[in-house]
Chains A and B, each alone.
Chain A
Amino acid sequence: MSKSFRPKIFVALRCLLGLLLLWAAVSKLANPAEFLGSIYAYELPLPRAVLQSAAVVLPWMELLCGLLLLAGFWPQTALVSVTGMMLVFVLATGQAWLRGLDIACGCFNLNIFGLQEGMPGLVRFLESVAFAFFRNLLLTAVAAYLLVREARQAVFSRAIAGE
């Protein structure tokens, strides 16, 4: 792979991650109460106030991080946030999968593609916690990889600038 092509891939990956976060955020912002129901379904051993606060704040964090990644503004910080969020999602979906909870992950709204009517089986699979677990693992790896790369780039920039 040529060196000039690699940065474009990184930018594309960053934008893709940003778009995914925007999609997830908008899906949750449309109905915070429904999102809270999805969080309750995970049966996490946390106080109700924490879960309610998560339902209120998490979509906005996703939205802000998605916008930051798309704009290329504060990329390292956005990627740190995204990696942290994804790790939380991995833990949540992983424990639900291990416990055999038959719940929708509540991650994305697939209605916009009209899949609900045409392919309900596919939607059920895409929304299952098992699929969500592996998808979140992949997204965590992508976010961590981009973060390492951004950090290295910052290191070189600082070294060249003589800081």
Chain B
Amino acid sequence: MSNKHKQSGSGHKSHAPARPNVVGQASSSFSVVSRAVLSRRMLFQLAMIVGLSCVLGFAFNASSPVGVKFGKPFVASVVSEIVVKPAESSGAVAQPALEVEPPMPPDLDETPVVAAVVEEISEPAVPPAQPEPSFAAPWPVAVPASPGSHHHAVQNPATPNQSSTASPANPSQTHWPESKALVAGGRAVLVDVRHKAMFDAGHIPGAISLPESSSQEEFSAFLSSQPREKIIIVYCSSTSCSQSARVANRLVNEFQWPDVRYMTGGYMEYQQMEHANPAQ
């Protein structure tokens, strides 16, 4: 009788076991071994996912013009370097020259691309005697600064006293092309209100770091170093951040700065536009 039961039991086992038996079997027979096999398989698959992600990620990053540069404080290789030159001693050309370093191939880009700003800006007493551009370029035009130099000077087609740049509201919104023209013309100063770490990681060349959390004294010190007729253009990360609008309002309401603007697209807009028009 007991043998019969055993045989029938073993026979049923491989065909159609009753559900309670399966559940019981599942709870009891889920031994450490099966779990180990499952986890070992999963570990292998996890390693595959992580390994493939690393390979693809680093390969893609190496080939991307906007890739992360390891070991360098600056992240975007395409972003150029601005050097604001002091006024010529002759006084004939007092216009600050905006020099833009052309993007270099990632494998050749050995020099640190930290935006080096020479703080020797002098306000142009007389508008520069530049030849009129033959076409109305909406973007500053890059021309070689000197023979044999890698630098290109960006000559801003906008004249300093252009009435179209007048701001109807204060503070007002602005975008990178307009801001670039104003900065290149020496009429505006860029203020990066993001955290200092983000500024160090990458910023618009020529910008000054003044985080939103800066003290009243720091704001005052910065503003006292700027002439009142200068336009202050504030930016943060992208359209999703609100620091630039807040700081712009603060500059107007607390410090009564006459012309404050904030770049709604922020640093992201700058990056996108510079990458879209790197040669311009």
Contact = CB atoms under 8 A, between A and B. Distances in A.
A123 B264 CA distance: 13
15 contacts: A31-B268, A32-B60, A32-B61, A32-B64, A32-B66, A32-B68, A33-B67, A37-B75, A60-B56, A60-B57, A74-B49, A81-B49, A120-B264, A158-B26, A159-B25
A135 interface: no
Contacts of B26: 155-156, 158-159
Given A40-B201, A78-B49, A33 B271 contact: yes
B49 A37 contact: no
A77 B34 contact: no
Interface in B112-162: none
Contacts, number: 129
Contacts of A95: none
B77 to A, nearest CB: 8
Contacts of B52: 60, 64
B271 A123 contact: no
A60 B60 contact: yes
Contact of B195 (A41, A64, A154): A41
Given A37-B237, A52-B70, 19 more contacts: A32-B60, A32-B61, A33-B67, A33-B68, A41-B237, A43-B197, A52-B68, A58-B53, A60-B56, A61-B53, A68-B49, A77-B42, A77-B45, A102-B212, A102-B242, A103-B241, A104-B241, A110-B240, A116-B240
A63 B29 CA distance: 36
B113 to A, nearest CB: 11
Interface residues of B, number: 49
B172 interface: no
B36 to A, nearest CB: 13
Contacts of A80: 42, 46
Q: Top 8 A-B pairs ranked by shortest CB distance?
A: A127-B240, A77-B45, A104-B240, A159-B26, A60-B53, A33-B75, A56-B57, A61-B53
Nearest to B78: A33
Interface in B55-100: 56-58, 60-61, 64, 66-68, 70-71, 75-76
A1 interface: no
Contacts of A36: 68, 75, 201
A98 interface: no
A77 B49 contact: yes
Contacts of B25: 159
Contact of A37 (B22, B202, B242): B202
B45 A37 contact: no
B194 interface: yes
Main secondary structure of the interface of A (DSSP, over half): helix
Nearest to A127: B240
A75 B174 CA distance: 47
B67 A32 contact: yes
B50 interface: yes
B279 interface: no
Contact of B66 (A31, A102, A116): A31
A65 interface: yes
A55 interface: yes
A64 B66 CA distance: 21
B239 interface: yes
Contacts of B66: 31-34
